[in-house]
Amino acid sequence: MLNRRFLLVKLRLTLWVKLLGEVEEFFEQYLSQDSIFSNKAALQAQYIPNQIVHREEQQQQVARVLAPVLRLQKPSNLFIYGKTGTGKTLVIKQVLQDILKVATGRALPIKIVYVNCKLKHVADTEYRLLVQILRDFGKSLPTTGLPTEEVYRVFYAALDEQPLQLVLVLDEIDELIGKTGNSALYNLTRCNTALLKTRLTLVGICNNIMFTDGLDPRIKSSLSEEELIFPPYNALQLQSILQQRSSLAFRSNVMTQGVLEKCAAFAAREHGDARRALDLLRVAGELADRAISSQVLIEHLDEAEKKLEKDHHLEAVANQPRQYHAVLYAVCKLLEQRSSIFTGEVYSRYQFICSSASMRPLTQRRVSDILGDLDILGLVHAPILSKGRYGRTRQITLPYGAEVQSKIRSMLDESLALQHAEH
Ligand SMILES: Nc1ncnc2c1ncn2[C@@H]1O[C@H](COP(=O)(O)OP(=O)(O)OP(=O)(O)O)[C@@H](O)[C@H]1O
Ligand SMILES: [Mg+2]
Question: What are the helix and strand counts (H, E) for the chain?
Answer: 17, 8
Q: Is 42 in the pocket of ligand 1 (CB under 6 A)?
A: no
Proportion of the chain above pLDDT 70, given as a percent: 94
Q: What global pTM score does this model have?
A: 0.77
How high is the pLDDT of residue 423? 47
Q: How far apart are CA 132 and CA 373, in angstroms?
A: 34
How are beta strands 199-206 and 384-386 bridged, if at all? unpaired
Give the percent of the chain with pLDDT over 90.
60
CA of 32 to the centre of ligand 1 (A): 35
Name the amino acid, one letter, at 333: K
Contacts 24+ apart (CB under 8 A), 268-272: 268/233, 268/234, 268/235, 268/238, 271/83, 271/84, 271/232, 272/83, 272/85, 272/86, 272/231, 272/232, 272/233, 272/234, 272/235, 272/237, 272/238
Ligand 1 contact, 204 CB (< 6 A): no
Mutate to test the pocket of ligand 1, among 60, 79, 89, 90 (most ligand atoms within 8 A of CB): 90
State pLDDT tens for residues 101-151. Answer: 999 999 999 999 999 998 888 888 899 999 999 999 998 887 767 888 888
Closest-approaching ligand to the CA atom of 207: 1
Q: Are 141 and 154 in contact (CB under 8 A)?
A: yes
* Cα 406–chain centre separation: 24
Name the pLDDT band for 249 (thresholds 50, 70, 90): very high
139-175 pLDDT, tens digit per residue, is: 888 776 788 888 899 999 999 999 999 999 999 998 8
CB 246 within 8 A of CB 38: no
310 burial type by CB count under 10 A (0-12 exposed, 13-18 middle, 19+ buried):
middle
| CB 49 near ligand 1, within 6 Å | yes
Nearest CA to ligand 1 atom 8: 87
Instruction: State how far the Cα of 159 lies from the Cα of 137, in Å rounded to an integer.
Output: 8
Give the model confidence (pLDDT) of 397-419 as tens digits. Answer: 998 888 888 999 999 999 998 76
Mean residue pLDDT of the chain comes to 89
Nearest CA to ligand 1 atom 29: 45
Most ligand 1 atoms within 8 A of CB, residue of 48, 53, 89 to mutate: 89
* Position in ligand 1 atom list of the atom nearest CA 55: 1
Residue 172 alpha carbon, nearest atom of ligand 1? 27
Instruction: Quickly state the pLDDT bin for 15 (edges 50, 70, 90).
Output: low
User: How far does the centroid of ligand 1 lie from the alpha carbon of residue 52, in Å?
Assistant: 9
Q: What is the pLDDT of residues 312-329, one digit of tens each?
A: 889 899 989 999 999 999
Complete domains list, the chain, with CATH? 56-230 (3.40.50.300), 234-316 (1.10.8.60), 320-416 (1.10.10.10)
For the Cβ of 82 lying below 6 angstroms from any atom of ligand 1, the answer is yes
Q: Are 323 and 359 in contact (CB under 8 A)?
A: yes
Q: Is the pLDDT of residue 63 over 60?
A: yes
5 pLDDT above the threshold of 90:
no
72 close to 108: Cβ distance less than 8 angstroms: yes
Instruction: Report whether residue 55 contacts ligand 1, using a CB cutoff of 6 Å.
Output: yes
More confident: 15 or 196: 196
- Give pLDDT, residue 213: 74
C-alpha closest to that of 103 among 78, 59, 68:
68
Q: Which ligand places an atom closest to the C-alpha of 90?
A: 1
Query: Could you read off the pLDDT of 167-203 as tens digits, one per residue?
Result: 999 999 988 888 888 889 999 999 999 999 999 999 9
Q: What pLDDT does 17 receive?
A: 66
State if residue 45 touches ligand 1 by the CB under 6 angstroms criterion: yes
Ligand 1 and 75: CB distance under 6 A: no
**31, pLDDT greater than 90:** no
232 lines ligand 1 (CB under 6 A): no
Does residue 275 have its Cβ closer than 6 Å to ligand 1? yes
Q: Find the 219 Cα to ligand 2 centroid distance in Å.
A: 21
Q: Is the CB of 231 under 6 A from ligand 1?
A: no
Neighbours of ion ligand 2 (CB under 5 A): 89
Query: Which ligand minimizes its atom distance to the CA of 46?
Result: 1
Task: Give CA–CA dist 326/317, Å, rounded.
Answer: 11
CA of 318 to the centre of ligand 1 (A): 24
Q: Which atom of ligand 1 is nearest to the CA of 52?
A: 3
Q: Report the DSSP pairing between strands 384-386 and 392-396.
A: antiparallel
Q: What is the CA radius of gyration of the chain?
A: 27
Which atom from ligand 1 is nearest to the alpha carbon of 44?
Answer: 29
The residue-averaged pLDDT of 10-23 equals: 70
Looking at residue 27, what is its pLDDT? 75
CA of 413 to the centre of ligand 1 (A): 35
Q: Is the CB of 274 under 6 A from ligand 1?
A: yes
